[in-house]
A and B are shown apart, each in its own frame.
Chain A
Amino acid sequence: MQFNEPAGTNLFDSATIVGKDHTRIDGPLKVTGAAPYAYERHDVVEGQLYGYPVGATIGHGTITAMDTEAAKAAPGVRAVVTTLDIDPLELGMNNVARLFGGSEVMHYHQAIAVVVADSFEQARAAANLITVSYEEGEAVDYSLDAAFERMEGTGEPDTQYGDMEAAFSDGAVTIDQMYHTPGESHQMMEPFASIVDWSDGGDLTGWISNQMINWTHGSLATTLGINKERVRIESPYVGGGFGGKLWLRADTVLAALGSRAAGAPVKLALPRPMMMNNATHRSATVQRIRLAANPDGSLRGISHENVSYCLPGGRGENATAQTPLFYASEAMHVKNHLAEMPLPETADMRAPGEAAGLMALEIAMDEMAEALEMDPVAFRLANDTQVTPSNPDMPFSERHFAECLEQGAEAFGWDSSRPAPGSRREGDWLIGQGVAGAFRGALALPSGARAAIENGKLVIETDMTDIGTGSYTILAQTAAETMSLTMDDVEMRLGNSAYPVSSGSGGQFGAVSSSTGVYAACMALREKIAQQLGLEEATFADGQVGSGNERQSFLELDVEAVDSIQWGDFMGEFQKATFGAHFVEVGVNVYTGETRVRRMLAVCDAGRIINPVTARSQVIGGMVMGVGAALSEDMALDTGRGMFANHDLASYEVAVHADIPEQEVIFLDTLDDVASPLKAKGVGELGLCGVAAAVANAVYNATGIRLREYPLTLDLMLDQLPEV
């Protein structure tokens, strides 16, 4: 199916299933422990052995020797494979640090050995017996501030228009500040985990936990140097990914190498303390933002430069991603820099770019509103735009940012004449409110599916994954709606490389892309059914197909169709994005500086919401992640060693239940007929974008202390809080 023009009126406009609340169809499996997650798939292949990884313990350098004698002799050990045993493996898609092979250590906890044994405990104990000698690499300056100073103003701007010099002169109100965001680790609940059967070194089957079946399928073949046809992977249930599981990771490679060496299937999970430094993470950023505005609040100039770190070939964290698209401005200068550092790999984490960028930009907007003596909601409204700021000929397909702000202000009880910073107090708590805008692109990728009638059911097969997002449910809704069936008539099969290639789950593109792919397959199936029954002008309604008054059920047929959605060029004439507004109230303890969120509201403009229940779950999850980003999450870099020291969940503090108060979500349920036939866009990342800045702005409103460095911990405030 080609999507070559705006959707126009279609069956989703009179939908009875799509757009309605539906609890997860896979919920009962999950709450009864019956959903087969990768590490627990004891039944898929006989004779599974246990693998345990060994990580490098230097920041970077070279391995000079490894002694595995004791490990090989340890009880229960079947195989030991070290990185010195094989040549460096090819890099898979978007991997920039090799996952295994060779003597070079590119980052701390890079995998350097795998031990396979009869039991998990034996494998782990034996792994501890391996001794490694290193030649450490030269000392490195890990200062991102220094990198920013070095790189600022260099290179061709990514976006540059208007007269920046004029914008910042002649009576303009200006601000000019530096902002810092820390490294953040995905730390999804389910660790990286795989069972791989490559016992004979021939055909390989992997039961893994991964967001992107097709990418990882190809990467695994590339990395191991085998034909993709010989590889099959499954990932039907994923206990969270947040972007960490977009790529092939070490767990799968080590399980494969261990399996080949031991001649038996091997299961392996990355231990929690290895996840932070072995896998990818969101780079820290240093950002400088300069804003210039007219006294009436219209922006004259925006300058945003960012630096993040990465290994050579990496992408870091482009915190300027939203800036060229979010606010109208007469002139603009945007530049993203990358500083190469031998640190663990940086790559996509939920809302890559916008998450870190809005943490800074939306504080800057709050600061400018204050400088202008404007309400921060009104200031943002004054700079809303319906067209691309750098290219007025390119409109947004749909943009309801203003409604997000206005409805949010109303629902939250936002007081535009709210108390001055530091002036509202309840007992020991200073109370403040903050607002931030949310922006996240609305990408769509090609996505396919197979639709078939089998044994009286509509069966949908696609390699799409459900990473906790609700894919099973929304795709079943889409299929049922398209075929005029009920949810009970649909059987969903996801996450298998044997199924048609989908978009996968990532970048907030999964729901829109895969639902359209399922729609395409179902429309193709409708045609096949009509053909088989010899119907012209067939209509589908109430579980039946017919032409005129002749109606019949079609669930007895044996028929199938495969199709995929291809996105047409016309979409390039539009900017597609999602928008939101976050409102937050915090209390800051006047004595200790502890910040506790009291209530939160998100208003989301993300096209048609396919399922409000699962979408809300995504948004409140994003808001929780935003509270963590605001208040506690911080990968603590030991700059002497080039490693993140707080590499477990006791010391890398994500938000816990007690941190999360009342959360409300409002969906505008706007329809975007440029976005997809369902007129839907993604929403899973929007919920995170801007949250931390809303918290920071609320902290400022509560205390009068402007923090531009995350997390907003009490030590940054203690010397500025009122005397006690």
Chain B
Amino acid sequence: MKAFSYEKPTDAAAAAARAAEVEGAKFVAGGTNLLDLMKLQIEAPVHLIDVNGLGLDEITETDEGGLRIGTLVTNTTLMADDRIRRDYAVLTRAIAAGASGQLRNKATTGGNLLQRTRCPYFYDTAMPCNKRAPGSGCGALSEGAFSRQLGVIGTSESCIATHPSDMAVAMRALDAVVETVTPSGNTRQIPLEEFHLLPGDTPEQENALMDGELITHVVLPAPVGGVQSYHKVRDRASYAFALVSVALIRQPDGTGRVALGGVAPKPWRSAEADAELPNGARAVIAKLLEGANPTEENAFKITLAERTLAAMLKEA
């Protein structure tokens, strides 16, 4: 960890302005990921802007009948909220499947969206990693590398890391929208679909936020009903990142939405694949993972996604 300075503002727009003004500044909320990364010197911010003094910790109802979740609402609070449990059950289920009780108590809504990949080559600073050290190469794509956990679609020759969040997968299925404040004090709405970026040649750019821009809320549209489920598949029963996870919202008429976690650099969903839901799991996954480019070690994720969705469709 490198030495850093610290401040704790009370106004969101001011925080964003400061973040843009101080070179190498970063926001910190729960710190469940950032502090680990700082200890390993994967992240080395020179200035931390603690956003815990900004309020932004309430869940309010929107005029459209949805919910507006403050960025500092913890994962524990969010998953336990009665309105979330009743109307957005996929979100409660997804959050409950992630991390541990202690981590969920600290982790925040905005922070969860911004967590970094758990690729082992990203985590070992002696290894090449285009995400951590642009231009150094992808450690996971070299001969003999360990890639079992990594992405199968949306990846590039520069990076095959996955986004590790469970919460974001459910939010993607719910068409959530990220609300921000920019350094100039304007607010902006970014659909979650457009929030995370694919790696391409620039895997270090992971999201659509501009320099200093701060997430203030995540907005859920009005409830869409249906049967909502989240199935996370992993080698051990708890406290592990997904090999594959599936968020499913299924309507009585057989239509619905499917988003996948554990397979891509972002929660993975497409309208074309959703449209295949009435035709069953194979059709959905064939469409959703069309053009997948797995490694030898993680090709099983495609079959696993199909079988996991099949299990869920049987129940839903």
Q: How far is the CB of A292 from chain B (nearest CB, A)?
A: 36
Q: CA of A656 to CA of B238 in the docked complex: distance in angstroms?
A: 7
The A-B contact count (CB < 8 A) is 107
Pick the contact of A273 from B40, B144, B237, B300 — CB < 8 Å? B40
Residues 590-649 of A at the B interface (beta carbon under 8 Å) = 591-594, 596, 631-632, 636-641, 645-648
User: Does B86 count as interface, using CB distance less than 8 angstroms?
Assistant: no
Residues 226-273 of B at the A interface (beta carbon under 8 Å) = 231, 233-241, 243
**Segment from B106-114, B178-186, B301-309 that makes contact with A:** B301-309
B146 touches A638 (CB 8 A): yes
Closest to B280 in A: A724
A659 touches B1 (CB 8 A): no
Q: CA of A593 to CA of B244 in the docked complex: distance in angstroms?
A: 12
Residues 668-724 of A at the B interface (beta carbon under 8 Å) = 711, 713-715, 718-719, 721, 724
User: Does A559 count as interface, using CB distance less than 8 angstroms?
Assistant: no
User: Does B39 count as interface, using CB distance less than 8 angstroms?
Assistant: yes
Q: How far is the CB of B256 from chain A (nearest CB, A)?
A: 18
Closest to B299 in A: A715
User: Does A651 count as interface, using CB distance less than 8 angstroms?
Assistant: yes
- Known contacts A646-B146, A714-B304, A719-B303; decide if A128 and B41 are in contact (CB<8 Å): yes
A125 touches B1 (CB 8 A): yes
- Of B121, B146, B243, B308, chain A has the most CB atoms within 10 Å of the CB of B146
A651 touches B149 (CB 8 A): yes
A640 touches B142 (CB 8 A): yes
Note all chain B residues with C-beta closer than 8 A to A373.
none
B39 touches A645 (CB 8 A): no
A713 touches B39 (CB 8 A): no
Pick the contact of A658 from B40, B121, B144, B237 — CB < 8 Å? B237
Q: How far is the CB of B192 from chain A (nearest CB, A)?
A: 25
Q: CA of A603 to CA of B43 in the docked complex: distance in angstroms?
A: 50
A636 touches B236 (CB 8 A): no
User: Does A146 count as interface, using CB distance less than 8 angstroms?
Assistant: no
- Known contacts A125-B2, A596-B237; decide if A636 and B148 are in contact (CB<8 Å): yes
A641 touches B144 (CB 8 A): yes
User: Does B210 count as interface, using CB distance less than 8 angstroms?
Assistant: no
Closest to B126 in A: A57
Closest to B241 in A: A650
B118 touches A651 (CB 8 A): yes
The size bracket of the interface on A is 35 or more
B146 touches A124 (CB 8 A): no
Q: CA of A530 to CA of B234 in the docked complex: distance in angstroms?
A: 65
- Of A592, A639, A640, chain B has the most CB atoms within 10 Å of the CB of A592
Note all chain B residues with C-beta closer than 8 A to A647.
120, 124
Note all chain A residues with C-beta closer than 8 A to B144.
142, 638-641
B146 touches A636 (CB 8 A): yes
User: Does A75 count as interface, using CB distance less than 8 angstroms?
Assistant: yes
Q: CA of A641 to CA of B3 in the docked complex: distance in angstroms?
A: 32
Residues 314-355 of A at the B interface (beta carbon under 8 Å) = none
Q: CA of A328 to CA of B182 in the docked complex: distance in angstroms?
A: 77
Note all chain A residues with C-beta closer than 8 A to B118.
650-651
Closest to A660 in B: B237
Note all chain B residues with C-beta closer than 8 A to A296.
none
Closest to A589 in B: B311
The size bracket of the interface on B is 35 or more
B123 touches A648 (CB 8 A): yes
Note all chain A residues with C-beta closer than 8 A to B121.
645
Indicate with 1 or 0, residue by residue over A419-434, a CB within 8 angstroms of chain B CB atoms. Answer: 0000000001000000
Note all chain B residues with C-beta closer than 8 A to A646.
120, 146
Q: How far is the CB of A649 from chain B (nearest CB, A)?
A: 9
User: Does B35 count as interface, using CB distance less than 8 angstroms?
Assistant: no
B236 touches A273 (CB 8 A): no
Q: CA of A638 to CA of B139 in the docked complex: distance in angstroms?
A: 10
A658 touches B148 (CB 8 A): no
Pick the contact of B307 from A591, A637, A645, A711 — CB < 8 Å? A591
Q: CA of A648 to CA of B234 in the docked complex: distance in angstroms?
A: 17
Note all chain A residues with C-beta closer than 8 A to B149.
651
Residues 129-151 of B at the A interface (beta carbon under 8 Å) = 142-146, 148-149
Residues 1-15 of B at the A interface (beta carbon under 8 Å) = 1-3
User: Does A573 count as interface, using CB distance less than 8 angstroms?
Assistant: no
A75 touches B307 (CB 8 A): no
Residues 50-66 of B at the A interface (beta carbon under 8 Å) = none
Q: CA of A650 to CA of B37 in the docked complex: distance in angstroms?
A: 13
Q: How far is the CB of A640 from chain B (nearest CB, A)?
A: 3
Q: How far is the CB of A597 from chain B (nearest CB, A)?
A: 9
User: Does A653 count as interface, using CB distance less than 8 angstroms?
Assistant: yes
Q: CA of A79 to CA of B126 in the docked complex: distance in angstroms?
A: 23
Note all chain B residues with C-beta closer than 8 A to A142.
144
A658 touches B311 (CB 8 A): no
Q: CA of A648 to CA of B119 in the docked complex: distance in angstroms?
A: 11
Pick the contact of A124 from B1, B145, B236, B300 — CB < 8 Å? B1
User: Does B17 count as interface, using CB distance less than 8 angstroms?
Assistant: no
Q: CA of A718 to CA of B311 in the docked complex: distance in angstroms?
A: 14
Q: CA of A593 to CA of B304 in the docked complex: distance in angstroms?
A: 9
User: Does B310 count as interface, using CB distance less than 8 angstroms?
Assistant: yes
A638 touches B145 (CB 8 A): yes
B235 touches A653 (CB 8 A): yes
Q: CA of A287 to CA of B126 in the docked complex: distance in angstroms?
A: 34
B236 touches A591 (CB 8 A): no
Q: CA of A655 to CA of B236 in the docked complex: distance in angstroms?
A: 7
B236 touches A632 (CB 8 A): yes
User: Does A657 count as interface, using CB distance less than 8 angstroms?
Assistant: yes
- Known contacts A125-B1, A592-B308, A636-B148; decide if A645 and B120 are in contact (CB<8 Å): yes
Q: CA of A656 to CA of B234 in the docked complex: distance in angstroms?
A: 12
Q: CA of A658 to CA of B101 in the docked complex: distance in angstroms?
A: 13
Note all chain B residues with C-beta closer than 8 A to A655.
236
Closest to A650 in B: B118
A592 touches B3 (CB 8 A): no
User: Does A121 count as interface, using CB distance less than 8 angstroms?
Assistant: yes
Note all chain A residues with C-beta closer than 8 A to B123.
273, 648
Closest to A635 in B: B146
Note all chain A residues with C-beta closer than 8 A to B308.
591-592
Indicate with 1 or 0, residue by residue over B36-47, a CB within 8 angstroms of chain A CB atoms. Answer: 000111000000
A594 touches B233 (CB 8 A): yes
B243 touches A714 (CB 8 A): yes
Pick the contact of A632 from B39, B235, B303, B311 — CB < 8 Å? B235
Q: CA of A102 to CA of B122 in the docked complex: distance in angstroms?
A: 30
- Of B126, B243, B281, chain A has the most CB atoms within 10 Å of the CB of B126
Q: CA of A648 to CA of B149 in the docked complex: distance in angstroms?
A: 14
B120 touches A651 (CB 8 A): yes
Residues 369-390 of A at the B interface (beta carbon under 8 Å) = none
- Of B1, B120, B127, B231, chain A has the most CB atoms within 10 Å of the CB of B120
Q: How far is the CB of A126 from chain B (nearest CB, A)?
A: 10
Could you list some 6 contacts between A and B, CB below 8 A?
A632-B235, A645-B146, A650-B240, A714-B304, A719-B303, A724-B281
Top 4 closest pairs, chain A to chain B, by CB: A639-B144, A640-B144, A57-B126, A591-B311
Q: Taking A591-B308, A714-B235, A721-B307 as given, write out 11 further A-B residue pairs in contact, using a Cβ cutoff of 8 Å, ordered by the A residue number.
A: A75-B3, A273-B123, A428-B311, A591-B310, A592-B304, A594-B235, A645-B120, A646-B120, A656-B237, A711-B235, A714-B300
Residues of B in contact with A (beta carbons under 8 Å apart): 1-3, 39-41, 118, 120-121, 123-124, 126-127, 142-146, 148-149, 231, 233-241, 243, 281, 300, 303-304, 307-308, 310-311
Residues of A in contact with B (beta carbons under 8 Å apart): 57, 75, 121, 124-125, 128, 142, 273, 428, 589, 591-594, 596, 631-632, 636-641, 645-648, 650-651, 653, 655-659, 711, 713-715, 718-719, 721, 724
